[in-house]
Amino acid sequence: MSKTNYKNFRGHMVVDIFFVILIIILVIINIYLFNKDFSFVDFEAKTTKTESPKTNLVEEKKVIDTKLILSTKAIYYTDEGEQLGLGPWPPVVDKQTSVRILVNLVSDFHEIKNLQLKIKLAKNIKYIGRPAVNLGEAVLYDEKNHFVYWHIESLKAGETALVNFEIEFTPSSDDLGKKVELMTSVNSFGTDAITLNSISSYSESIYSEIVSNEKLD
């Protein structure tokens, strides 16, 4: 064997021995690892359930406006029988009669601010006055336009506002057998203190009793 071939053979032998030793080392390591008792930490995967805030399905209760209750009537006698008017009643043709107009205002369940009452007297009805109120300002009369005004700064819930005043009229022959119109309109309006909305109420025309041709005793 030549020197060159010998060197090549020797080189291959060295490499083969190296790989053999490496394989032996790996086998030993695998045997060691196989017999080794490893302790594994058991990680429990936990899923955190995130709850979204509960949706309030109940809608906020809507606040409604208060009711302004208005009532109006002409009175000649009180409920106790006391006479408030003068002249014949029922009214008589060509006889002068006076009665009192009574107006009640009540707020249902909210306070009312800046409450105003406006009454239009009918034609040929004379405003005598002598008003009486339990709340608010004094009654005002616009003679030119035939209006009666009353203002209340505040009317509390459930509270009753009262106003009354005297009027006078003389039925004509054309009124015989009919009722005389005393007021053509009664309007009240103000502001709901809670909702801040404008509220109003009205009453239809107010009439006397049927006019006769002579006083009935």
Q: How many independent structural domains does the chain possess? A: 2
Q: How far apart are CA 217 and CA 214, in angstroms?
A: 9
Across residues 2-13, what is the average pLDDT? 54
15 belongs to a structural domain: yes
127 belongs to a structural domain: yes
Helix, strand or coil, per DSSP, at residue 192: strand
Q: How far apart are CA 188 and CA 201, in angstroms?
A: 5
Res 79: pLDDT: 87
217 belongs to a structural domain: no
Residues 91 and 196 in one domain: yes
Helix, strand or coil, per DSSP, at residue 20: helix
Is 102 in contact with 73 (CB distance < 8 Å)? yes
Residues 76 and 158 in one domain: yes
Residues 33 and 88 in one domain: no
Structural domain span for residue 200: 68-210
CATH number of the domain residue 183 falls in: 2.60.40.1170
Across residues 180-196, what is the average pLDDT? 96
Across residues 92-116, what is the average pLDDT? 96
95 belongs to a structural domain: yes
| Whether the predicted pLDDT of 37 surpasses 70 | no
pLDDT digit string, tens, across residues 155-165:
999 999 999 99
Residues 143 and 201 in one domain: yes
Strand partners, 86: 98
| Whether the predicted pLDDT of 93 surpasses 80 | yes
| Whether the predicted pLDDT of 45 surpasses 80 | no
215 belongs to a structural domain: no
Taken as a whole, the chain contains a residue count of 217
61 belongs to a structural domain: no
Calculate the average pLDDT of the chain: 83
Residues 161 and 204 in one domain: yes
48 belongs to a structural domain: no
Residues 127 and 29 in one domain: no
Res 62: pLDDT: 83
Dihedral through CA 25, CA 28, CA 34, CA 40, nearest 10? Answer: -50
